[in-house]
Structure 1
Amino acid sequence: MDLRHLRYFLAVAEEGHFGRAAARLNIVQPALSMQIKALEEELGGALFVRSSRRVELTDAGVLLQIEARRTLEQAEHTRLTVERALRGETGRVRVGFAGNAIFSGKLTADLRRFHQRYPDAELTIDEVGPQEQVEAILAGHLDIGYTPAHSNTVGPDLAVRRIGDWEMLVALPEDHALVAHDCLTIAMLAGQPLVLYEAHDVHEHLVMLLTQKLGSRCHIAWRAHSTLSTLAIAATGLGLALVPAPLQQVHIPGLVYRPLKEADLTANLVLISRAQEASASVKAYLELVIGPVY
């Protein structure tokens, strides 16, 4: 007995006539009669009482009608569930973020689009440091990462897509003398105590550039380990913070932002994932936010 037998049986039971049931199933009547006969022989008894005008269910047939409907409904549910999983409509996507992802709006926009398209897929979202994101993705603990590019975002096992670039700003206390300028230059930072967000090695490149341009007058006074710590240090007047442009959305009392006129100093955001991804839901996320994944 298979699902096809049950479908044939239900067609006859619902039509009450072999000819109409055969037409509904788009098969010839003798073939349908043979299938029902084989089903009855397999189960060991009659399922229909046949007459010249119609067929009626036996008691066993009534019971099979109930069970057959239940079985076919479950089979259809199973088929649809698996198809949805293969399309990425269900399953889980684990996302880590750092840097500009939240302040640029890119992370929230991507998550919103995915949730709207696949409302039954499970999303988990955690703030994870740039270096830790790579380790977690390769270890299978995260699926997607939003991070500034750094030395570990290079390798054969990692897929990296650049999704944002921004100019740098100077965050400084509102009573600082440099606030009078609408735009600052690197030369204006000479001798000033500077605050850098030291979460990954990209900022070592930033230090190198500052040293090249300012020489001995490059004064790195603070190395903070979080975005808010960087801004808080600047707001207290302990130093001038170099931050990506999206951070100007963060309002801290007593803190103002000024553009930094220096083409070599920029901030970026990349999306990282496994180069070989098996999860349909993760593939669906990637295709939605960056395009087809092969």
Structure 2
Amino acid sequence: MELRHLRYFLAVAQEGHFARAAERLNIVPPALSMQIKALEEELGGPLFVRTSRKVELTEAGRLLQTEAQRTLDQAENACQTVRRSLRGETGQVRIGFAGNAVFSGKLTRDLRTFRQHYPDAELVVSEIAPLAQADAVLAGQLDIGYTPDHDKLHSPALVAEKIGLWKRIVAMADDHPLAGQSHLTVEMLAAEPLILYDAHGADESLYAALSHLLGHDPHISHCSASSLSVLTLAAAGQGLALVPEPLMHISVPGVVYRPLDVAELAANLMLVSRKEANNGAVMAFLAIARGEGIRE
């Protein structure tokens, strides 16, 4: 028995007439009559009492009418549930992020836009260190990561796309000797202890660029996977912190920010996902994060 047989049966039951039911179904009456006869043969008995003017349901037909309607309603509900999932309207999106994503406003905008258009989908958002994000996405524990670029992102199983690029600035204690400068140069950093965001992990590219510009390995006093920890160390006079420009919006007591206009030290933000991602809600979120607009 196929669903179309149940639809044919219900049309005849509701219309009480083969010709009207056939017109409603957009098929010819003889074809409809043959389909109903085949259904009766499959079930083992008559479903209708046929007269010259109309058809009426038998007792078996009345039982089937109830069950057929319930079956078709369940099938339609199943289709609607799957369609909503494929469109991203339901389901879960697990997102990991590093500081840049929040302080730049990028993650917040993406989350807000997604919530406005997909209110029934579930968002799970966690602050996770950049290197751990790549591992979590590969392991299927995260769906999407917002992270600075690093070597682990270049796995063939991942898709890594640049979604942000900012200048690097220097955060320092307000009583540091360089705090009186309106802007800093790389040469001014040569003898200074530096504080980097996860220097030998997520920010290996920054470490390499500094080494090239200075002509020697930089003096790294601290490295941390937390943006607030980096700023706290700078406020405590533990060194100069090289941070992305969006962090200057964070007001930390005892910290001042100074520009460092060196293109080679730019900070980026990457959007990371699995190549084989097929979750409807995840795909919808990725489209928003990529600026592709809202999926219809």
TM-score range (shorter-chain normalised) is 0.7 to 0.9
Any idea what the Cα deviations from partners look like across 1:196-233, whole Å, max 9, x if unmatched? 22255354443444455556895433223421111111
Alignment of 1:86-235 (within 5 A): 86-198=86-198, 200-201=200-201, 203-211=203-211, 213-214=213-214, 219-235=219-235
Distance of aligned partners of 1:271 and 1:207 in 2 relative to their CA distance in 1, 3 Å threshold: same
Letter in 1 for 2:226: S
CA-atom RMSD, angstroms?
Answer: 2.6
- Shift in CA distance, 12/249, structure 1 to aligned 2, threshold 3 Å: same
C-alpha deviation, 1:264, in angstroms: 2.2
Say whether residues 1:34 and 2:34 are aligned partners. yes
The code of the aligned residue for 1:57 comes to L
Alignment gaps of 5+ in structure 2 = none
SS at match of 1:156: coil
The answer (yes or no) to whether the contact 2:172–2:179 under 8 Å persists in 1 is yes
Structure 1 vs Structure 2: percent identity of aligned residues?
59
Q: CA deviation at 1:190?
A: 4.4
CA distance in 2, matches of 1:59, 1:217: 90
For residues 78-126 of structure 1, the C-alpha deviation after alignment (integer angstroms, 9 at most, x for no partner) is 1222233334433332221124111111122223333333333332222
TM-score calculated relative to the size of structure 2: 0.87
Cα contact 1:129–1:199 (8 A) shared by 2: no
Q: Show the counterpart of 1:286.
A: 286
Question: What is the CA–CA distance in structure 2 between the aligned matches of 1:137 and 1:218, rounded to whole Å?
Answer: 32
Pairing 1:3-18 to 2, within 5 Å after superposition: 3-18=3-18
Counterpart secondary structure, 1:12: helix
Aligned to 2:63: 63
- Give, in angstroms, the shift of residue 255 of structure 1: 1.9
Q: Which amino acid aligns with 2:44?
A: G
Structure 1 residues 139 and 199: alpha-carbon distance in aligned structure 2, compared to 1, 3 A threshold:
farther
Would the aligned equivalents of 1:150 and 1:200 in 2 still touch at CA under 8 Å? no
Q: How far off is 1:56 after superposition?
A: 2.4
More displaced, 105-114 or 239-248? Answer: 105-114
Of stretches 88-97 and 216-225 in structure 1, the one that deviates more from structure 2 is: 216-225
Aligned to 2:77: 77
* Cα contact 1:131–1:200 (8 A) shared by 2: no
Question: What SS is found at the alignment partner of 1:123?
Answer: strand
Deviates more, 1:233-242 or 1:7-16: 233-242
CA positional deviation for 1:147: 0.9
Distance change (3 Å), C-alpha of 1:200 and 1:74: farther
Aligned residue pairs total 292
- SS at the partner of 1:201? coil
Residue aligned with 2:195, SS: strand
Q: Shift in Å at residue 148 of structure 1?
A: 0.7
CA contact (8 A) 1:90 1:121 kept: yes
Contact kept in structure 2, 1:192 and 1:240, CA below 8 Å = yes
Check conservation: 1:13, 1:65, Cα contact below 8 A: yes
Q: Structure 2: how far apart are the matches of 1:287 and 1:122?
A: 16
